[in-house]
Amino acid sequence: MQPVRLPDLGEADAVIIVEWFKSEGDTVQSGEELVEVETAKTTFVVEAPISGRLVQIHLQEGDTAKQNDILAEVE
């Protein structure tokens, strides 16, 4: 399994999970948009690191994540 991690946010300490575009069990393609997150200044999208199946979402909409946290896992 490959973790989907929150990338380096620069000066932002944490983000809020806004919306998942896929559900557990869905097939994803490498580079496909998976989840929208929001900082105090902007929103951005985290992409799938590999193609496969989204097997587990660790953080739900409304949860807070920090840099390098595992958001989900793809196999």
Q: CB within 8 A of 32, min separation 6: which ones?
A: 22, 47, 48
| Mean pLDDT of the 45-65 span | 96
User: 24 pLDDT exceeds 90?
Assistant: yes
Q: Which residues contact 56 (CB under 8 A, 6 or more apart)?
A: 24, 72, 73
Q: Considering the entire predicted model, what is its pTM?
A: 0.90
